[in-house]
Amino acid sequence: MLKKLQLILLFLTILGLHSCQVFKGLSKNNKETTETDSNQTQLAEESIIIEKPSAEIAINQEETLSPELTGDSLSLVNHIFGDTSLFAQGFENKFGKNDDIDEDLSMLSGSALVRQLDSLTTVKFFNKYEFITDTDELNIYGYAADEIPTFNDSVYELRIEVLNVQTPVDLIYNRHVKSFINLYAKKGRKQTARMLGLKEIYFPLFEEVLDKYDMPLELKYLAVVESALNPTAGSRAGAKGLWQFMYGTGRLYGLHSNSLVDDRFDPYKATDAAARLLKNLYGIYGSWELALAAYNSGPGNVNRAIRRAGGVKNYWAVWPFLPRETRGYVPAFIAVNYIFNYAAEHNIYPTDPGILYYGIDSVTVRDVLSFDQIAEFMHMDINDVDFLNPAYKEGIIPASSSKPYILRLPREKVGYFIDHEDSLYNFVSKKGLEREKLLAQIKKAKERSIHIVRSGESLGLIARRYRTSVGKIKAWNGLRSSRIYPGQKLIVYSPGRRSSSASSAYARSTKSTNGYHTVRNGENLGLIAKKYGISVRQLKSWNGLSSNMIKPGQKLKVSAKKSTSSKQNLATAKNKGNYEYHTIKKGDTLWDLAKKYKSSVTKIKQWNGITNSYRLKPGKKLIVGVRG
């Protein structure tokens, strides 16, 4: 509603200030323009009458623009905004003498977004379908084939404002946005054309999922910023797929990964997970711009930026305090919104991807299959099979009757699959990848584990957990020394996954007695501190340690009962009514409540059993603190 009113005010202001000049160019019936009063009267009768004193606009001398935008009035606005280049001449020039501002090129230097654009050249699907759609039909402005149009800043601002009034996401124009517009419209024109083609495959899916969760459809452009719509995109940090999920975040939202299958590459599963993540972030900040920033850099970085900005929850207010990569994130998102809506104005047209979203269907696979079998048996290009099924990293579908998998095919191939499914399972490809060999590869993959090093862990401890040796772990991972660091990923092969019984036995054997812990071989302060829910600093303080050196058999004070007593205290406080409650009002967010009651979002979630998909409901009571 607010943006509709802004649109009306913008519309009325421009008409009042520049009525004659603007509408002489816009009127369909006005063939000639003179300065005589009679011609001005005729123009008003044929198109629109403007009365400056009352700012009332009449259409055909009878219709009046109502406070609400009706279908007719919207069509008028759309007609006027249709030629934004001409309409922009009516704006007051606030971009300097040459109507031009400098780009913020620093945003592009070393940007992950630029690397994702470059990755589009390796998408094999386009190697087969290398042709452009009918430019004669799309080129409505009559541009030459190699012409690169340029526009003044006032034109960019007006076009983005037209998009802004149609979405709850705040879209503005500035020098940071300009740098990304020029990236997509000038330097990366070929990649933009490819992305315009790929959107015909992915945008219908994105829109369905966003609509399912009642979210702004414009968020679909985020995938363009994240991966350039490359389904197999990967970052240096380890993010994967269209929505660039990190391993840990993906697991949190139900995206599982192993040696053969990675759900982060599955467009359908990853899109649903990304929508849930964005919705949760919006629930924390109440701002889509901050939610986008948190999606990129994590809530921790955004929270710190908000604190440094004095608690103001506005993206542009916290912009200087965000990580460098995140400072270019929302500007890039705005630029993608712009270029995908005004591609024809920049003489950019989509490259046909060869298949559309509604030309893809899915079937259920109930036995192990390889891409070689599918391609040869069903007379398909193996690159097409790979493109439609990027989640299968090794080209093997490890399906079974108890755990089926989904295979996506061109719609016209689905009937053939259903009719010959059993024959396909028994088919031997030219590479000789028979069922027995596939099963052997799957068994080997199941024995292969990825272990993420935690704080306090050593190679010796990891080797014991997986029933292997330090030497083998070093050989599998090409390690020259035994030095490892938290977050490091290690490949581990073992007769089975780490034994839960072994872990339980370890926990029982290391259980403290009377608040003390006896150090075992391979343990360090970090591991012991984590076990008892304390910090290394506390551990050193309680035991008078000046360094991190400890030895097997040494007894350390750990106050092991602290976490239990803490839980008991919380339960006692709840029973005695010592919790502080807050009744949710419309517009409340967890971040606001945490700040108001000097608590944290994590604590409020724990006290109330809130999951990541929680949605605040007005009138509901939440525990926000403990009295005393």
**Beta bridge partner(s), residue 360:** 410
The rounded distance, in Å, linking the Cα atoms of 375 and 410 is: 12
Q: Reply yes or no on whether 63 is catalytic.
A: no
- Give whole-number Cα distances, 326 to 113, 177, 291, 330, 532, in Å: 11, 13, 11, 8, 36
Terminal-residue alpha carbon distance, the chain: 45
3-class SS of residue 51: strand
Sign for the CA dihedral angle at 367, 371, 373, 378 comes to positive
Residue pair 113/225 in contact by the 8 Å Cβ criterion: yes
- The β-bridge relationship of strands 579-583 and 621-626 is antiparallel
Q: Catalytic residue, from 157, 226, 289, 457: name it.
A: 226
- Give whole-number Cα distances, 48 to 10, 11, 79, 193, 455, in Å: 17, 13, 13, 39, 71
CA angle 225/227/228 to nearest 5° reads: 70
The dihedral formed by the CA atoms of 236, 238, 242 and 247, expressed in degrees to the nearest 10: -170
Count CB neighbours of 612 within 10 A.
13
Task: Name the residue among 389, 445, 471, 99 with its Cα closest to residue 258.
Answer: 445
Helix segments in 448-589, DSSP class H: 459-465, 470-477, 500-509, 525-531, 536-543, 562-575
Count CB neighbours of 295 within 10 A.
24
For residue 135, what are the contacts with CB-CB under 8 A and spacing of at least 6?
Answer: 145, 349
Element (H or E) spanning 555, and its range?
strand 555-557
Task: Name the residue among 527, 553, 559, 524 with its Cα closest to residue 541.
Answer: 559
Active site residues: 226
